[in-house]
Chain A
Amino acid sequence: MFQKYLNAWSFFPVVCFIFFITPVIIVISSLFGDYSDNWTHLYNYVLGSYIRNSIYLVSGVLILVTIIGVSSAWLVTNYDFFGKNILEWALILPLAVPPYILAYTFTGLFDTYGTANNLIREIFNLSREFTFFPKVRNVPGAIIVFSFTLYPYVYLVSRMAFINQSKSILEAGRTLGLNKIEVFYKLAVPMIRPAVIAGLMLVAMETLSDFGAVDHFAISTFTTGIFRTWYGMYDIHTAKQLASLLLIVAIMFIIAEKYSRKNADYSFAGSVFRQLRLIQLTGFKNFFAFLFCFIPIFIGFILPILELSYWAFNYKLDFFNEKFITTAWNSFYLAIISALLCTCLALFINFSVRYKNNNLLKFLSSFLTVGYAVPGIILAIGVMQLLTFLDASFIGKNLKFILTGSLIGLIIAYIIKSYALASSTIESGYQRVNMRLDDVAKSLKSSGWSLLGSVHLPLLKTSFLTSILLVVSEVIKELPATLILRPFNFDTLAVYTYIYAAEERMYDAAAPSIAIVMIGLLPIIVLTRMIRRSRPASRD
């Protein structure tokens, strides 16, 4: 019975599974250990505020991203209005801006002596004490920052769901007496609910696992608490216990996301698909639709880019120095190595699942993707402990630490964190490769490596490259895991940005921030090309 698992194609995914799960088990196991005085202190005084702030933050973000993501997707899918063709793909541009960079530009703009307040004072000749914009370093400010950087997750799934929605059902609603707005919220939105929930769960996980933005706004959440407990109290055990609580919440979101995905296409059952016809908007409605779609792009992408460019070119022209080049190079090669390894791993495992076609491999493969939902900070703690254990047990007896504090830990964490992105890209590529090609190739004596190399790889070329771009962008943006696992005196663009922003040296933080956004734009460009190809609608 076990014979079918005793070969490289089945064995390798099992080894990966063990490697992926170990850091998580290390963190969770802390719950069953002793609880120190630090834990009692946290429990009595700050845990309540961590939970409260996290709940406020996640709830606020979920409400706002639902409004922005679903409504803008509905508008660009069903209506034709000024700038629609550009707005349709530009709405995903904020994905290139990590929340912590928008947080830095927000404080630079809206703090008492920030650019925006200074501008208002200058225009209206007001006194230096006058503040027009409210303070942003608080929970509502963080809600805005997260919402305007993360709404594309909901926009993308909603748009795809609306495109696939049967127009006939919506027209049936009209004949039954619903007006256009009622059709939207009584029929269209409930029908795409599972897809939207899956997108919202991703947003919730990203919000909970963020460190950079909440740290900059000085909001106490789980991630900042974990960091302070470890680096402030020097108590890694309590930090792990805190991380375990966050992980339990993340696991609940993962389950909800997987469940929603399972039901994601229930709305299309039994309905006859008919191509969408765009409705032309005119006058005030035309302007309103444009404005509604433009504002999220303006706040989430244009505003930070303008502010960062202003800082970089007006105040800090010498940003292009040796340190910047070294840091950019560090980020670049680390991202490329991680992306190549992660994509090859995803290709190998997805091939194994398809080639061997057994349920254990299918389960393991889907489980490997949960790394995406594990906050970087938790992953970093788990990987660090794993490497310390390996160093102490097998390698470091004479040579001291080899793995701990090396780039290996960082690359492992990046791979675990980004595997879901790579795997889903390769998987969607595989969905377009007919299984009959495999059958025929096998009958022509091609199997294993030969099948992978000569048939699958050439057909998955685009998915392979897309996956590399997505992982590169994810790794360049990753902050908490990099902060914890980077070797001594080794900086990346994200760390460089964080350190300057923490010291309120925003002008110095501008250049690396722009570099991060620019690299993040590469996969977005690929995605937008796919989006343009995916639209089956015609105009009236």
Chain B
Amino acid sequence: MATLEIKNLNHHYIKGKPVLNNIDFNLKEGEILSILGPSGCGKTTLLRIIAGLEKETSGSIQINNTIVSDHFHTMPTERRNIGLVVQERALFPHMSIIKNVMFGLNFSNSKKHQIAMTFLKLFKVDKYAHNFPNEISSGEQQRVAIARAMAPNPKILLMDEPFGTLDHSLTNQLRIETKKILKDNKTTAIIVSHDFDDAISMSDRVIVIEDGSIKQHGSANDITNISREKSIDFSSISEKS
């Protein structure tokens, strides 16, 4: 059973200049999908449409067999039960780390605290629970941002260039740790990235988008093989962006 189903999704800001063109794909429970493509190809727009932060021009989106957006209605972001991690991390600067993670939870205070601490421990940032975001490093901030998004147990976790601003060694370490946690928790996730390594190492499946259309779609291994056979230069994709 598909957790996410996207059918014939099209989007444009200016008529005649499509940003997304006939996007069709689905995602199974516990699966991790990467959307790969150069800057401006429409991958972030696609993520924002799935999150309900933007309305598609046409097409439909189903989450857990419920239509959350089509021509007739749009379910607001806060009711879609999704988690969101953005490149800028967007931690609430006026709240401590623990309060940031507790923000999306709807339980008694002690229960919220308990869940938040569990996730902070999982991401090895529990010692900073009472610090404020500006007091920890960018790598630690990113861990908190992912912990915060996962804590409410969302149906799908959406991550937009999650490691985009981190240095190379930190990125490798975070990729491994995050993938393990996602898999252990059987979290369904979509990762948007322009980085080929991000996409291949983190995900089960990869979609390559160029000029708003899906150009390739397959398992991470398939995409790696195709790129070898056809000599697709993914490094140029990274460099372009």
B-side contacts of A437, CB under 8 Å = 90, 92
A-side contacts of B148, CB under 8 Å = 440, 444
A446 at the interface (CB under 8 A from B): yes
Pick from B32-40, B81-89, B221-229 the stretch touching chain A: B81-89
Q: How long is the Cα–Cα vector from A470 to B88 in the complex, in angstroms?
A: 33
A447 at the interface (CB under 8 A from B): yes
Quick check: A447 and B90 within 8 Å, CB to CB?
no
Known contacts A436-B90, A459-B94; is-contact A443 B84 (Cβ 8 Å): yes
Known contacts A444-B152, A455-B92; is-contact A439 B84 (Cβ 8 Å): yes
A274 at the interface (CB under 8 A from B): no
A-side contacts of B106, CB under 8 Å = 445
Q: How long is the Cα–Cα vector from A138 to B225 in the complex, in angstroms?
A: 88
Contact with A along B60-86 (1 / 0, CB 8 A): 000000000000000011111011101
The residue on B at minimum CB distance from A436 is: B90
Q: How long is the Cα–Cα vector from A445 to B145 in the complex, in angstroms?
A: 15
A-side contacts of B78, CB under 8 Å = 442-447
The residue on A at minimum CB distance from B157 is: A443
The residue on A at minimum CB distance from B86 is: A436
Give the shortest distance, in Å, between B106 (CB) and chain A (any CB): 7
Partner of A442, one of B77, B88, B93, B154: B77
Known contacts A434-B88, A436-B88, A459-B94; is-contact A443 B76 (Cβ 8 Å): no
Quick check: A447 and B94 within 8 Å, CB to CB?
no
A-side contacts of B94, CB under 8 Å = 458-459
Known contacts A458-B94, A459-B93, A459-B94; is-contact A443 B88 (Cβ 8 Å): no
Quick check: B90 and A444 within 8 Å, CB to CB?
no
B104 at the interface (CB under 8 A from A): yes
A-side contacts of B122, CB under 8 Å = none
Partner of A446, one of B82, B90, B103: B103
Known contacts A436-B86, A439-B51, A439-B86; is-contact A445 B104 (Cβ 8 Å): yes
How many of A's residues come within 8 Å of B, CB to CB? 16
B53 at the interface (CB under 8 A from A): yes
The residue on B at minimum CB distance from A457 is: B94
A-side contacts of B145, CB under 8 Å = 440
B-facing residues in A443-490 (Cβ within 8 Å): 443-447, 454-455, 458-459
Known contacts A445-B78, A445-B106, A447-B78; is-contact A440 B152 (Cβ 8 Å): no
B206 at the interface (CB under 8 A from A): no
The residue on B at minimum CB distance from A444 is: B104
Q: How long is the Cα–Cα vector from A101 to B19 in the complex, in angstroms?
A: 60
Interface SS of A by simple majority: helix
Quick check: B103 and A443 within 8 Å, CB to CB?
no
A-facing residues in B128-167 (Cβ within 8 Å): 145, 148-149, 152, 154, 158
A-side contacts of B93, CB under 8 Å = 459
Q: How long is the Cα–Cα vector from A459 to B94 in the complex, in angstroms?
A: 7
Q: How long is the Cα–Cα vector from A441 to B84 in the complex, in angstroms?
A: 9
The residue on A at minimum CB distance from B154 is: A443
Q: How long is the Cα–Cα vector from A459 to B77 in the complex, in angstroms?
A: 22
Quick check: A442 and B90 within 8 Å, CB to CB?
no
Give the shortest distance, in Å, between B222 (CB) and chain A (any CB): 31
Quick check: A443 and B82 within 8 Å, CB to CB?
yes
Quick check: A447 and B84 within 8 Å, CB to CB?
no
Q: How long is the Cα–Cα vector from A519 to B52 in the complex, in angstroms?
A: 47
Partner of B76, one of A440, A442, A444: A442
Quick check: B90 and A440 within 8 Å, CB to CB?
yes
Give the shortest distance, in Å, between A301 (CB) and chain B (any CB): 37
The residue on B at minimum CB distance from A451 is: B78
The residue on A at minimum CB distance from B101 is: A444
Q: How long is the Cα–Cα vector from A436 to B80 in the complex, in angstroms?
A: 17
The residue on B at minimum CB distance from A445 is: B78
B-side contacts of A444, CB under 8 Å = 78, 83, 103-104, 148-149, 152
The residue on A at minimum CB distance from B94 is: A458
The residue on B at minimum CB distance from A454 is: B103
The residue on A at minimum CB distance from B90 is: A436
Quick check: A440 and B53 within 8 Å, CB to CB?
no
B-side contacts of A455, CB under 8 Å = 92
Quick check: A447 and B77 within 8 Å, CB to CB?
yes
Give the shortest distance, in Å, between A515 (CB) and chain B (any CB): 36
Quick check: A445 and B152 within 8 Å, CB to CB?
yes
Contact with B along A407-449 (1 / 0, CB 8 A): 0000000000000000000000000001011011111111100
Interface residues of B (CB under 8 A from A): 48, 51-53, 76-80, 82-84, 86, 88, 90, 92-94, 103-104, 106, 145, 148-149, 152, 154, 158
Which 6 A-B pairs give the minimum distances between C-beta atoms?
Answer: A444-B104, A443-B84, A442-B77, A436-B90, A458-B94, A447-B78
Supply 8 further A-B pairs (C-beta < 8 A) apart from A445-B78, A445-B152. Answer: A439-B77, A439-B90, A440-B148, A442-B76, A442-B78, A444-B83, A445-B104, A459-B93
The 19 listed contacts between A and B (C-beta, < 8 Å) are: A436-B86, A436-B88, A437-B90, A439-B53, A439-B77, A439-B90, A441-B92, A442-B52, A443-B51, A443-B82, A444-B83, A444-B148, A444-B152, A445-B78, A446-B103, A446-B104, A454-B103, A459-B93, A459-B94
